[in-house]
Structure 1
């Protein structure tokens, strides 16, 4: 056999093996298990996740890169993504948009099959498209409210930890370990950011940005001022815990006093609908002019608009901010 042919075959074999090895190393470094764990870990720290679990790769998929054309064209997508993350739901922006489109199209198809007017079909489709947004909004409000209720106990634990001789970062770690979600996850993320080199001021500001709770912002501002001027940080946490609890007591009193107004709003809002349903059940022909006569349709439009304005006005009256 020719020596040149053997040399070429050996070199070709070595080149193929080295190419396969290079491709494997590149793929494992970019998409391997270790690379995914590292990317999820870093993303959980920069994006503000709510737990230390390793399976956080979903956060990487849902975060928007600042250099993407879509993010440059629509800067409000970052705020929408942060709003979605504050709800605690494992949803991405794509899933939210797809859910809105699916609900809207489903309602529109149902209205088309029922031969409803175009205006009614479009109104129903719009209401159906808003259902996922309302679902996310409800979860976000409930999560923020739960965090706000946990804040006095968190302040008490931070104060006790400081009195026991722990450093402030260790006290944050204890709060993240002892408390359930959402307070535990947020304080764990803050502690991880501090461990990875983020300054304490930036980590606390990131915590306040991730959880837009008024009392938490007061806490962060007080801690930042105390770090500049000095003072007893444990007594500061005790004072903030007492202040938050007193605010909750006042809020509960206001809620009790405004309960009558809220009940009146529900009764006044549901009374016309309930009366119309009973009349339509007892005498179906009595309300036919509302559906068939043009004057009745205009009156019905005016009634609906008046009811909406009245409900919004009553809500504004009975909703007292504390």
Structure 2
């Protein structure tokens, strides 16, 4: 074969390799981990708090600019930005449009699957409507778990800030050290705060945005202590040490209360879920056994009375085991 043929094959191979590498670089720059982290931080900054003048205007314009028309239409509705802020607190990459679409898709799917059972149509419709709240409950659970993790990481973050201040670093550089060296999710929140300071936001406003993004009582105490120290002066490292000791002592008391109330919480879960689990198993094993409950008028009254009694019992037991520290 001629040298031109070999040269063509080599050049074609090089072109394919370069094309694949270019496609990977493009995908990684738009959807890779670094791009997702940058987008998450931009969303956190844009949803932190309303800022005056034109601060962070470029970041705030990027968020709706890259969104779909459906997302931009949703953002015009009242309280939708609060839902987006709720998603950011959960640490999820979901948008408001995705949450709304998920809540709208689940009920028809549940309704279609429940038609294969012999349950009454009214019960199926009620279950389908209740299933629309499953994505919201999932996001709420993720948010509560993330906030608990942030609360547990706060004493170590205060310790690192105090050590950095004793080493002679400025407070803004100490925030950068926590954001760089600390684990997620606390590290990401402090990186966002440091980014706000670099973008021109004052330290007081950046700390206020941190307290708004992370609605934790102990973190608000930390922000208030720092703001008061900046106005009155004093040793901030000692103040942070005092906050750390207070938070850890409260954690010890909270863990002791959780141990003492563990039996009551477990009993509440078992007593609340056991009737539904047994009823579902009986419907699949012997469908005709429970038909009298919705075919007979007395059975309907018994179901209403049982559900009402269960609701009262669940509320009562939740009040008993809900101990505030």
Give the structure-1-normalised TM-score.
0.76
TM-superposed deviation, 1:297:
1.8
SS at match of 1:181: coil
Q: Does structure 1 conserve the Cα–Cα contact (< 8 Å) formed by 2:44 and 2:88?
A: no
SS at match of 2:210: helix
Which residue does the alignment assign to 1:253?
Answer: 256
State the alpha-carbon separation in 1 of the partners of residues 308 and 227 from structure 2: 49
State the alpha-carbon separation in 2 of the partners of residues 153 and 198 from structure 1: 26
- 1:221-274 C-alpha deviation (Å, 9 max, x unpaired): 111111111111000110111111011001001111111211232343345456
TM-superposed deviation, 1:308:
1.6
Give the one of 299, 302, 312 matched to 2:302.
299
SS at match of 1:269: helix
State the alpha-carbon separation in 2 of the partners of residues 43 and 99 from structure 1: 21
Give the one of 84, 87, 91 matched to 1:88.
91
Query: If you compute each CA radius of gyration, which structure gives the higher value, 1 or 2?
Result: 1
Which residue does the alignment assign to 1:264?
Answer: 267
Give the RMSD, CA atoms, in angstroms: 3.2
Q: Which residues in structure 2 correspond to 1:40-55 (within 5 Å)?
A: 45-47=45-47
Which residue does the alignment assign to 2:4?
Answer: none
- Does residue 213 of the first structure (1) align with residue 216 of the second (2)? yes
Which residue does the alignment assign to 2:240?
Answer: 237
Give the one of 177, 182, 186 matched to 2:180.
177
- Does residue 120 of the first structure (1) align with residue 123 of the second (2)? yes
State the alpha-carbon separation in 2 of the partners of residues 194 and 280 from structure 1: 60
SS at match of 2:132: helix
Give the one of 116, 132, 136 matched to 1:129.
132
State the alpha-carbon separation in 1 of the partners of residues 109 and 265 from structure 2: 33
State the alpha-carbon separation in 2 of the partners of residues 282 and 69 from structure 1: 48
Q: Does structure 2 conserve the Cα–Cα contact (< 8 Å) formed by 1:43 and 1:60?
A: no
State the alpha-carbon separation in 2 of the partners of residues 161 and 235 from structure 1: 12
Q: Which residues in structure 2 correspond to 1:1-322 (within 5 Å)?
A: 45-47=45-47, 60=64, 71=75, 74-114=77-117, 116-273=119-276, 289-322=292-325
Unaligned runs of 5+ in 1: 1-32, 49-56
State the alpha-carbon separation in 2 of the partners of residues 306 and 46 from structure 1: 46
Unaligned runs of 5+ in 2: 1-28, 49-60
State the alpha-carbon separation in 2 of the partners of residues 124 and 242 from structure 1: 48
TM-superposed deviation, 1:111:
3.0
Q: Does structure 2 conserve the Cα–Cα contact (< 8 Å) formed by 1:161 and 1:171?
A: yes
SS at match of 1:147: helix
TM-superposed deviation, 1:119:
1.9
Which residue does the alignment assign to 1:30?
Answer: none
